[in-house]
Amino acid sequence: MLRIVLRRLGATIPVMLVVAVVVFLMLHLSAGDPAAIIAGDNATEEDIALLRKSLGLDRPLAEQFVQWIWQLAQGDLGVSIFNRVPVATMIAQRMEPTIALTVLTMTLAVSLAVPLGVLAAWRVGTWVDHTIMALAVAAFSCPVFLIGYALVQQFARTWKVLPVQGYTPLSEGLVPFLLHLALPAISLGLIYTALLARMTRSTMLEVLGEDYIRTARAKGLGVRQVLLQHGLRNAAVPIVTTIGLGIALLIGGVVVAESVFAIPGIGRLTVEALQQRDYPVIQGVILVSSLAYVLVNLLIDLSYLLLDPRIRY
Partner 1 sequence: MSIATTRTRIVRPLVVRRRGLLTRHPRITLAALLLGTLAGLAIFAPFITEYDPMTLAVTQRLRPPSAAHWFGTDAYGRDTFSRTIYGGRISMQIGVSVAAMSVLIGVVVGMLGGAIRWLDPIVMRISDGLMSIPAILLAIALMSLTKASVATVIIAITIPEVPRVIRLVRSLVLTIREQTYMQAAIASGTRLPRLMLRHILPNVLTPLIVQATYICASAVLLEAYLGFLGAGTPTEVPSWGNIIAENRTFVQLATWNVMFPGVFLALMVLGVNMLGDGVRDLLDPRLAGRIGK
Contacts with partner 1, residue ranges (CB under 8 A) = 14-19, 21-23, 26-27, 30-32, 37, 137-138, 140-146, 149-150, 152-153, 157, 195, 198-199, 202-203, 205-206, 248-249, 251-252, 255-256, 259, 270-271, 273-275, 277, 279, 282-283, 285-286, 289-290, 293-294
Least distance from C-beta 122 to partner 1, angstroms? 16
Residue 218 CB, nearest approach to partner 1 (Å): 25
| CB closer to partner 1 out of 177 and 197 | 197
Nearest approach, Cβ of 219 to partner 1 (angstroms)?
A: 27
Query: Could you give the C-alpha distances from 109 to 66, 120, 234, 250, 270, in angstroms and in order?
Result: 41, 16, 20, 11, 25
Contact (Cβ atoms closer than 8 angstroms) between residue 231 and residue 204: yes
Closer residue to partner 1 (CB): 33 or 63? 33
Distance CA(144)–CA(267), nearest Å, equals 14
Which residues are CB-neighbours of 186 under 8 A, at least 6 positions away?
108, 151
Q: Answer yes or no: are the C-beta atoms of 77 and 88 closer than 8 Å.
A: yes
CB of 110 to partner 1, least distance (A): 16
**CA 260 to CA 164: how far, in whole Å?**
10
| CB-nearer residue toward partner 1: 2 or 31 | 31
CB of 274 to partner 1, least distance (A): 5
**172 vs 210 by CB, closer to partner 1:** 210
Look up residue 81 and give its amino acid.
Answer: I
Strand partners, 86: 79
C-alpha 256/C-alpha 270 separation (Å) is 10
Nearer to partner 1, 105 or 177 (CB): 105
